[in-house]
Amino acid sequence: MNIALIAHDKKKDNLVQFATAYKTIFAKHTLFATGTTGLRISEATGLDIHRFQSGPLGGDQQIGAMIAQNKMDTVFFFRDPLTAQPHEPDVTALVRLCDVYSIPLATNMGTAELLIRGLEEGMLEWRNIVKESSGETNGN
């Protein structure tokens, strides 16, 4: 499965801790992240992560493009609801794309816990069926 990892500045520590706790599950999948978030997770866990631009520089949009092309299976986006984001329209667009394409999205630790456990138990295998029906057969 292709997994996106994104975190606003005040939530990066939380996502790094989460990725560290579930490193063995994440290691079984192909990981993508926005710039600084990906670097921090990679340094803390040793996980191989494809890094896009930082969120404000277009990283959110790059991940959104993968969603629109049916190339992203789930998104862990630890959002900071108490701080205004300069790229809020990009954030809103990314969340909207997850809804449009039925991509599971965790925006906080509680939902992330449920999503990672579901991933571990194989509850997202329906994504492989969706990919196969759309011609995606790369196994991710």
| Catalytic-residue membership of 80 | no
Distance CA 7, CA 58 (A): 14
User: Do 127 and 98 contact (CB within 8 A), yes or no?
Assistant: no
Count how many residues are written for the chain.
140
Q: Which of 9, 48, 60, 99 is catalytic?
A: 60
What are the residue numbers of the active site? Answer: 60
